[in-house]
Amino acid sequence: MYKEIEKDQEIKDVGNGVYTSYTGHNSVLIREISKILLKKGDKIADITYGKGVFWKDINLSRYKFYPSDLMTCPNAPYDFTSLPYEKETFNVVVFDPPYVHNPGNLIVNDNYQNKETTKGMYHKDIMELYEKGMKEALRILKKDGTLWVKCKDEVESSIQRWSHIELFHIANQLGLYALDFFVLTQVNLPIIQHKKQNHARKNHSYLWVFAKIENKDKRLVVQKEIIDALKIG
């Protein structure tokens, strides 16, 4: 499933670098960003584990790994809005909830259980779920820990819904620092529900990496300045 990285190969990988954009599956993205964001012995909570597709290319024996999911983890069927962990427990929390509003029969449904969990929900309901999950993730994160949040923009009733921007603002309100941002272009073409096209079809998703740091940290001050600069009126 994975290959151990030899010392020389590790040096070579550092030379090649980790980039902001990849084409492939989630496991490709997670494998690459783990090179700079994970260290041996890290305590990781994947609070929306699903079928574990994120971790197919990772040697999890290097870490203390805690998967949980209401629908797919019978030994840890935890609600990500109310987790049984003590506060400040994990170095990394990974959060990839179903993010399609009122989904139909999606090709990836077996992995993500969208139809079973977000049926009848509107975009605002999805964002509320994100906010609740991010608040709980912040509680269980150690200081200087990172929260990895996967998302995808969508169109609802012919209106663009910029999920990645909304999540940035939620994170900012929670006092999280935007440490990094990645784009994943999907291999397969997106499923088309309507023949008439009014917007570009979305064939990519995002992964935010937020860090839990002190509010007095200079980076958060800079981030607030960015937010203020983006305000109109």
In a domain, 207, yes or no: yes
Give how far Cα 52 sits from Cα of 26, 111, 112, 155, Å: 10, 8, 10, 27
- Widest CA span in the chain: 54
In a domain, 19, yes or no: yes
Classify residue 79: in a domain, yes or no.
yes
pLDDT value of position 75: 97
Q: What angle do CA 204, 208, 209 make, to 5 degrees?
A: 145
Residue 193 lies in a domain: no
Residue 196 domain-assigned?
no
pLDDT score at 192: 63
Q: 194 lies in a domain? A: no
Residue 198, pLDDT score: 76
| Cα–Cα distance for residue pair 171/45, rounded to 1 Å | 18
Q: Which amino acid belongs to residue 214? A: E
Find residue 151's DSSP bridge partners.
Answer: 206
| Per-residue confidence (pLDDT) for residue 7, from 0 to 100 | 44
Provide the β-strand partners of residue 67. 46
CATH number at residue 58: 3.40.50.150
For residues 207 and 182, the answer to whether their CB atoms sit within 8 Å is yes
Mean pLDDT of each 10-residue bin along the chain, 233 residues long:
43 68 95 96 97 96 97 96 98 88 47 49 91 98 97 84 94 95 87 69 92 85 84 62
Sign of the C-alpha dihedral computed for residues 218, 93, 109 and 59 taken in this order: positive
- Helix, strand, coil shares of the chain as percentages rounded to 5? 35, 25, 45
Give the number of domains in the chain. Answer: 1
Q: Which domain holds residue 69?
A: 7-187+201-230
Chain centroid offset of residue 65 CA: 16
Does residue 103 lie within any of the structural domains?
A: yes
Is residue 2, in this structure, part of any structural domain at all?
no
**How much is the pLDDT for 102?**
59
CA torsion sign, 194 to 208 to 34 to 222?
Answer: positive
CA–CA–CA angle 117, 118, 122 (5° rounding):
165
Which two tokens mark 76? 């840890």
Residues whose CB falls within 8 Å of the CB of residue 103, separated by 6 or more in sequence, listed in order: 109, 114, 115, 118, 119
3-state secondary structure of 145: strand
